[in-house]
């Protein structure tokens, strides 16, 4: 993750400068810290010539304006006084996108206060994210060089304090993106569990449960998915006791299918490589737990991830198999590609049994049907609790990781009736995301719960303001917001 330094506002004498500008205040911005004076009016003239008005998302790059600067990027903030944390983040993201080839970038933050300044740094850091681990031969002229980001703040102390809270969240996002980006031969369930264990350094308690213990517990659905792979499954339980650990925790649960071939109901070859990111729900939960621990959130939180590989083999489960879930309910596995709900069934039941949480929120790249419903603009969610639903929706809006609620309802249950077991694991094409949610609901034991189907949001094929294409870490910022706004103190 890009390192951010913070210093008092003065005009830098080299490198690149980001100049945030409120709508209609271009002259003031160009005059910032004597910038126009030092460049002989070059910045004002360039902004004028480019018809730059400071509208939200508008950017102009001014090359070599003088005063030793390599470039100035002016970025619009929109209407004065209406700048939100999200707008500041997006401005930081837009600006840095133009500056990835610069080694040193300074971010002016006037007219923003320390909090919004820190959000702008966050946006810049998140847009500057890259997953570079496996490149050895990239042409040097294609490689971003951005190495240092210096935040110039009026009140550097206050900006430091604000950044200290956001930095762990940015770190959690980058961690989740790393996990989701890793290839499936590297990121097996065991490897992913090991990376969770590394988070004890942040003060998280981490427990790893393997297949032997799962068998003792009776995780028949989870183990049914696992049985076709030579890579053993894991369930990881992470705890952050930021409020003392005495009360009921809140709980986040992630689907962590490290690769989903579909199993015996195998997927077509084209695009199957995408199924390395079928663990993005788990990645988001892990990133979230790292964020909460990193910023010492005053809340008791548990995060559980079900890590498994869905493979076809001589030992794989068959369409038609009946498995007994940890809850005792039986499932006829009609389609081995509907594996996520089987994993979540056992992890959710375990979570409510073990922790009696205030609520459970699960995240899963669960259905192609959700992508058909909402595309790649919002995640879909389902909940049996209106207050939790309202809070989630608001957190989505505030963080920019948007959500839209879809219905649950008994009427959908007839689609998952089985002839020989308590239910089957698929409900046909109509309402495919809903019948999946309806299935999962049978394993929450009446606890307040929400299910986030993030299939359309985990991976981006084009750049967005604070998310370069690739793994998005969708959910980390939203759920950090949820915790911060409602469950601390
Ligand atoms: N991981 C997939 C869902 C998915 C598909 C996520 C495409 C992202 C992109 C899930 O395990 C799956 O295969 N779901 C099936 C369910 C069906 C068999 C009822 C689907 O959506 O096709
Ligand atoms: Mn599948
Ligand atoms: Zn899957």
Are the C-beta atoms of residues 448 and 259 closer than 8 Å to each other? no
SS (H, E, C) 314-364: CCCCCCCCEEECCCCCEEECCCCCCCHHHHHHHHHHHHHHHHCCCCEEEEE
Tell me whether the omega of the peptide bond preceding residue 292 falls within 30 degrees of 0, making it cis.
no
Would residue 341 show up in a list of annotated catalytic residues for this protein? Answer: yes
pLDDT for the residue 141: 74
| Closest-CA residue to 130 (of 467, 477, 441) | 467
Are the C-beta atoms of residues 189 and 309 closer than 8 Å to each other? yes
Distance CA 122, CA 86 (A): 10
How confident is the model over 35-77, as pLDDT tens digits?
999 999 999 999 999 999 999 999 999 999 999 999 999 999 9
HSE (side-chain half, CA atoms, 13 Å) at 461: 6
Sheet holding 3-8, edge to edge: 3-8, 148-153, 104-108, 15-22, 69-78, 59-66
pLDDT for the residue 19: 98
Beta strands 360-364 and 449-453 are: parallel
Distance CA 326, CA 307 (A): 16
What are φ and ψ of residue 276, in 5° steps?
A: -70, -25
Distance CA 319, CA 341 (A): 15
Would residue 267 show up in a list of annotated catalytic residues for this protein? Answer: yes
Q: How far apart are the first and last CA of the chain?
A: 30
Distance CA 349, CA 317 (A): 22
What atom of ligand 1 comes closest to residue 335's alpha carbon? 18
- Which of the following is catalytic: 45, 130, 267, 298? 267
Rg (Cα) of the chain, in Å, rounded?
A: 24
Distance CA 329, CA 62 (A): 65
pLDDT for the residue 138: 74
3-state secondary structure of 408: coil
Ligand 2 center from residue 348 Cα (angstroms):
18
Q: Which ligand is nearest to the CA of 369?
A: 1
CATH classification number, 3-166, choose in 3.40.50.12780, 3.40.220.10, 1.10.3720.10, 3.40.640.10: 3.40.220.10
Hey, how many other C-beta atoms are within 10 angstroms of the C-beta on 238? 27
Ramachandran class of 357: left when φ > 0, alpha when ψ lies in -120 to 50, beta otherwise? beta
The number of angstroms, rounded, from the C-alpha of 344 to the middle of its chain's C-alpha atoms is: 19
Q: Which ligand is nearest to the CA of 366?
A: 1
Ligand 1: residues with CB < 6 A are 260, 278, 335, 337-340, 365-369, 426, 432, 455
| Closest-CA residue to 223 (of 328, 305, 280, 308) | 308
Distance CA 116, CA 127 (A): 17
The number of angstroms, rounded, from the C-alpha of 135 to the middle of its chain's C-alpha atoms is: 24
What atom of ligand 1 comes closest to residue 459's alpha carbon? 8
Ligand 1 center from residue 6 Cα (angstroms):
45
Q: Please list the alpha-helical segments (H only) found in 133-238.
A: 156-181, 189-197, 211-217, 220-226
Smallest CA separation from ligand 1 atom 17, residue: 338
- Which of the following is catalytic: 127, 167, 341, 442? 341
Tokens at 139, concatenated: 């042409």
| Closest-CA residue to 421 (of 350, 352, 327) | 327
Are the C-beta atoms of residues 330 and 280 closer than 8 Å to each other? no
pLDDT in tens, the chain (489 residues): 999 999 999 999 999 999 999 999 999 999 999 999 999 999 999 999 999 999 999 999 999 999 999 999 999 999 999 999 999 999 999 999 999 999 999 999 988 999 999 999 999 999 999 999 999 877 777 788 899 999 999 999 999 999 999 999 999 999 999 999 999 999 999 999 999 999 999 999 999 999 999 999 999 999 999 999 999 999 999 999 999 999 999 999 999 999 999 999 999 999 999 999 999 999 999 999 999 999 999 999 999 999 999 999 999 999 999 999 999 999 999 999 999 999 999 999 999 999 999 999 999 999 999 999 999 999 999 999 999 999 999 999 999 999 999 999 999 999 999 999 999 999 999 999 999 999 999 999 999 999 999 999 999 999 999 999 999 999 999 999 999 999 998
pLDDT for the residue 137: 79
What atom of ligand 1 comes closest to residue 426's alpha carbon? 19
Residue spans of the domains in the chain: they are 3-166, 187-486
Tokens at 405, concatenated: 């609620």
Q: In terms of C-beta density within 10 A (0-12 exposed, 13-18 middle, 19 or more buried), how is residue 207 classed?
A: middle
Its CATH class, for the domain covering 187-486, is alpha beta
Are the C-beta atoms of residues 181 and 36 closer than 8 Å to each other? no
| Closest-CA residue to 177 (of 338, 311, 305, 290) | 290
Distance CA 307, CA 184 (A): 12
């Amino acid at each position: 993750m890009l390192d951010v330094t913070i210093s008092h506002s003065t005009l830098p004498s080299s490198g690149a400068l980001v100049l945030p500008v409120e709508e209609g205040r271009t002259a003031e911005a160009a005059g910032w810290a004597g910038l126009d004076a030092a460049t002989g009016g070059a910045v004002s003239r360039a902004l004028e010539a480019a018809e730059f008005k400071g509208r939200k998302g508008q950017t102009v790059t001014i090359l070599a304006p003088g005063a030793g600067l390599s470039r100035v990027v002016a970025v619009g903030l929109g209407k004065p006084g209406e700048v939100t944390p999200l707008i500041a983040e997006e401005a930081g993201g837009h600006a840095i996108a133009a500056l990835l080839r610069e080694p040193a970038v300074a971010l002016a933050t006037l007219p923003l206060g320390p909090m919004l300044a820190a959000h702008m740094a966050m946006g810049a850091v998140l847009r500057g994210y890259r997953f570079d681990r496996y490149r050895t031969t990239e042409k040097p002229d294609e490689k971003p060089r951005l190495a240092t980001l210096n935040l110039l703040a009026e009140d550097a102390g206050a900006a430091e304090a604000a950044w200290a809270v956001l930095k762990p969240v940015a770190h959690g996002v980058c961690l989740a993106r790393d996990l989701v980006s890793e290839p499936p031969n590297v990121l097996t369930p065991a490897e992913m569990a090991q990376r969770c264990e590394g988070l004890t350094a942040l003060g998280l308690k981490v427990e790893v449960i393997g297949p032997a213990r799962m068998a003792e517990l009776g995780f028949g659905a989870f183990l049914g998915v696992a049985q076709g792979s030579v890579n053993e499954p894991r369930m990881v339980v992470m705890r952050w006791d930021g409020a003392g650990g005495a009360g009921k925790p809140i709980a986040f649960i992630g689907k962590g299918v490290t690769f989903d071939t579909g199993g015996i109901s195998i997927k077509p070859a084209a695009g199957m490589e995408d199924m390395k990111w079928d663990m993005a729900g788990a990645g988001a939960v892990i990133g979230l737990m790292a964020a909460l621990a990193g910023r010492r959130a005053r809340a008791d939180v548990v995060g559980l991830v079900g890590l498994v590989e869905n493979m076809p083999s001589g030992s794989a489960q068959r369409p038609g198999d009946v498995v007994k879930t940890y809850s005792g309910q039986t499932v006829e596995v009609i389609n081995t590609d509907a594996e996520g709900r089987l994993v979540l069934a056992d992890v959710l039941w375990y979570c409510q049994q073990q922790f009696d949480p205030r609520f459970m929120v699960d995240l899963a790249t669960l259905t192609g049907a959700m992508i058909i419903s909402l595309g790649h603009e919002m995640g879909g969610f389902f909940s049996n609790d209106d207050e939790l639903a309202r809070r989630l929706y608001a957190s989505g809006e505030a963080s920019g990781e948007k959500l839209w609620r879809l219905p649950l309802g008994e009427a959908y249950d007839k689609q998952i009736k089985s002839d020989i077991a308590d239910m089957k694991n698929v409900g046909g094409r109509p309402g495919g995301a809903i019948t999946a949610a309806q299935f999962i609901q049978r394993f929450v034991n009446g606890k307040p719960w929400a299910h986030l189907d993030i299939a359309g949001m985990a991976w981006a094929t084009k750049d967005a303001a604070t998310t370069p294409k690739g793994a998005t870490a969708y959910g980390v910022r939203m759920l950090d917001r949820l915790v911060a706004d409602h469950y601390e103190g």
